[in-house]
Amino acid sequence: MSATAIPTAASVADAVARLSPEGRAFIDGAYVDALSGETFDCVSPIDGSVIAQVAACDQADVDRAVKGARAAFEKGAWSKASPAKRKHTLIRFAELIREHADELALLETIDMGKPIADSRQIDIPGAAKTINFYGECADKVSDEIAPTDPSAVAMVVREPLGVIGAVVPWNFPLLMAAWKLGPALATGNSVVLKPAEQSPLTAIRIAQLAVDAGIPAGVLQVVPGFGETAGQAIGLHMDVDMVAFTGSTEVGKYFMRYSGESNLKRVSLECGGKTPHIILPDYPDLDKAAEAVAWGIFFNQGEVCNAGSRLLVHEGIRDDFIARVAKVAQGIQPGNPLDQGTKMGAMVDATQMERVLGYIEAGKADGATVAMGGSRVMQDTGGCFIEPTIFADVTNDMKIAQEEIFGPVLSAITFSEVDEAVRIANDTVYGLAGALWTRDVSTAHKVARDIKAGVVWVNCFDAGDITTPFGGFKQSGFGRDKSMHAMEKYTDLKLIWLQLD
């Protein structure tokens, strides 16, 4: 396949025939079966077919992976390599991801159900860019000399933590893994990566590319498996120094508990969200705002942690604005994820589809009005598709306004004053992101400061860059991915006080 063309496959079966997806774990530089020999079916949500047998790793496999990762760390071929060497190797790793972008994109799409154009234009280039960025960062960070009395030299140095457990979700499988791998590897750690059971294939594939790029065997281990087995084993392992987790708030809390019950490993958590998207009536281009609101919730089937799932719209423009959002949403209907023109794909699996449909029923039962959509579609494909859904007449105490649906469901809530909008925006356990549209610079500043969230977008939505930090307040977690700040959490400060004669 060429390095630039968007890959095509006529069907999931065609893609599987071309890719022969690898489903084994990757430990100490080689693909291996789970020690138990157990596997599970990897099912494509596009048509319900089984696309691979994946190693069901458990505690014994995690232990093996951690031992290998620790041995690699102690050996020092990576942890004590010069930052310049780590830089060149990570940049090569990023190049290999780019060279295999067509293959990885197709794998991501058949595994997770997102549109092939998104996999090829967003997820895979984003993962490569992330690894490249942290490669570039590896030799740009210096240690400090503290301003002590001249009779001493007090060096404040940063050291890698050791073995990092990276536990990631299924919505952006490779990209979320890259957000952990980039800074963890750039700072010299070994990583045991557990992809989500719904979407393990790209993580398994890139483990080989890492070794091909020159990352020593054992430094990146991949253990596919279920959360309650492989995930928990990482959380409870006595020789894992830190868990970098992205996933639900519920499971994030488990990792805090695992840490307390084991070795007090550090934990960083990127958890869920219920992002408020506030539209003030002074914003002159409501079509532009409506476009952002629609894509802000329907992109990636709504399976986005910072999805703008709560529309907070001024009561004076409510009906007009919801109609504008619905008009945009008409153009984001589900289609075959393998078609290059498809803008919305399949829900990741039948469980998630049923969960989202359950929330739609809850919205109706609580008295919200379905302004658009509300149903499963394309049943004849055997896949898991839900149409873009908009609820009007939502109040912020309803289940669909409080809980993370993680699907293509927008809940529209009205307000009359800016202060009320801010109060509603903050009335949630989450604090991942927020957005507002206004022409008034004072309001923009004030509201951006008042919203309790890790990121606030003004007159845009979901804007970001690998140079900017990302993460939550409140129960959306703590610690930051992306940017050079992410490197801090994978290192520890050591003071070396050298007394001069």
Task: Name the residues annotated as catalytic.
Answer: 270, 305
- Residue 90 · residue 135 · CB < 8 Å: yes
Which CB, 216 or 477, lies closer to ligand NAD? 477
Q: Which residues pair with 42 in a beta bridge?
A: 52
Q: Is there binding between residue 189 and ligand NAD (CB under 6 A)?
A: no
Q: Is there binding between residue 64 and ligand NAD (CB under 6 A)?
A: no
Q: Is there binding between residue 296 and ligand NAD (CB under 6 A)?
A: no
- From 129-137, 209-217, 247-255, 328-336, give the range in contact with ligand NAD by CB under 6 A: 247-255
- From 64-72, 264-272, 327-335, 384-392, give the range in contact with ligand NAD by CB under 6 A: 264-272
Task: Please state, in angstroms and as integers, the Cα–Cα distance from residue 125 to each residue in 22, 396, 488, following that order.
Answer: 21, 37, 24
Helix axes 124-137, 173-186, angle to 10 degrees: 10
Q: Is there binding between residue 183 and ligand NAD (CB under 6 A)?
A: no
Q: How far is the CB of 170 from ligand NAD (least distance, A)?
A: 5
Which residues, 431 to 470, sit near ligand NAD by CB under 6 A?
Answer: 432
Find the binder of ligand NAD among 104, 107, 305, 338 (CB under 6 A): 305
Per-residue interface string for the shown chain with ligand NAD, residues 15-34, x marking contact by CB under 6 A: --------------------
Quote the CA–CA distance of 240 and 186 in Å, as a whole number. 18
Backbone φ, ψ for residue 494 (5° rounding)? -125, 135
Task: Please state, in angstroms and as integers, the Cα–Cα distance from residue 109 to each residue in 31, 112, 268, 344, 350, following that order.
Answer: 22, 5, 28, 12, 16
Task: Please state, in angstroms and as integers, the Cα–Cα distance from residue 28 to each residue in 71, 164, 216, 429, following that order.
Answer: 10, 15, 9, 41
Q: Is there binding between residue 47 and ligand NAD (CB under 6 A)?
A: no
Find the binder of ligand NAD among 271, 292, 410, 487 (CB under 6 A): 271
Which CB, 488 or 492, lies closer to ligand NAD? 488
Quote the CA–CA distance of 187 and 487 in Å, as a whole number. 7
Q: Is there binding between residue 406 and ligand NAD (CB under 6 A)?
A: yes
Q: How far is the CB of 125 from ligand NAD (least distance, A)?
A: 18
Find the binder of ligand NAD among 231, 308, 345, 373 (CB under 6 A): 231
Task: Please state, in angstroms and as integers, the Cα–Cα distance from residue 371 to each residue in 150, 297, 318, 391, 409, following that order.
Answer: 71, 15, 12, 5, 11
Q: Is there binding between residue 167 and ligand NAD (CB under 6 A)?
A: yes
- Residue 250 · residue 406 · CB < 8 Å: no
E strand map for 150-234: 152-160, 163-167, 190-194, 220-222
Which CB, 229 or 396, lies closer to ligand NAD? 229
Residue with tokens 């699907």: 407
- Residue 313 · residue 469 · CB < 8 Å: no
Q: How far is the CB of 183 from ligand NAD (least distance, A)?
A: 14
Find the binder of ligand NAD among 15, 52, 62, 196 (CB under 6 A): 196
Find the binder of ligand NAD among 404, 437, 447, 483 (CB under 6 A): 404
- Residue 34 · residue 184 · CB < 8 Å: no
Find the binder of ligand NAD among 130, 246, 275, 491 (CB under 6 A): 246
Q: How many residues bind ligand NAD (CB under 6 A)?
A: 30
Which CB, 324 or 474, lies closer to ligand NAD? 474
Quote the CA–CA distance of 130 and 127 in Å, as a whole number. 5
- For the chain, the first-to-last Cα distance in angstroms comes to 65
Find the binder of ligand NAD among 247, 302, 407, 431 (CB under 6 A): 247
Helix axes 124-137, 83-99, angle to 10 degrees: 170
Q: Note every long-range contact of 453-461, with CB atoms under 8 Å and residues 24 or more positions apart, other chains counting.
A: 453/275, 454/480, 455/306, 457/433, 459/283, 460/292, 460/435, 461/277, 461/292, 461/293, 461/295, 461/296, 461/308, 461/435
Q: Is there binding between residue 224 and ligand NAD (CB under 6 A)?
A: no
Find the binder of ligand NAD among 48, 83, 227, 469 (CB under 6 A): 227
Task: Please state, in angstroms and as integers, the Cα–Cα distance from residue 178 to each residue in 49, 95, 149, following that order.
Answer: 27, 14, 43
Find the binder of ligand NAD among 78, 254, 295, 473 (CB under 6 A): 254
Quote the CA–CA distance of 287 and 325 in Å, as a whole number. 8
Per-residue interface string for the shown chain with ligand NAD, residues 345-384, x marking contact by CB under 6 A: ----------------------------------------
Which CB, 29 or 431, lies closer to ligand NAD? 431
Which CB, 193 or 371, lies closer to ligand NAD? 193
23: left (phi over 0), alpha (psi -120 to 50) or beta: alpha
Which CB, 89 or 130, lies closer to ligand NAD? 130
Q: Is there binding between residue 261 and ligand NAD (CB under 6 A)?
A: no
Q: How far is the CB of 486 from ligand NAD (least distance, A)?
A: 11
Binding site for ligand NAD (CB under 6 A): 167-171, 176, 194, 196-197, 226-228, 231-232, 235, 246-248, 251, 254, 270-273, 305, 404, 406, 432, 472, 477
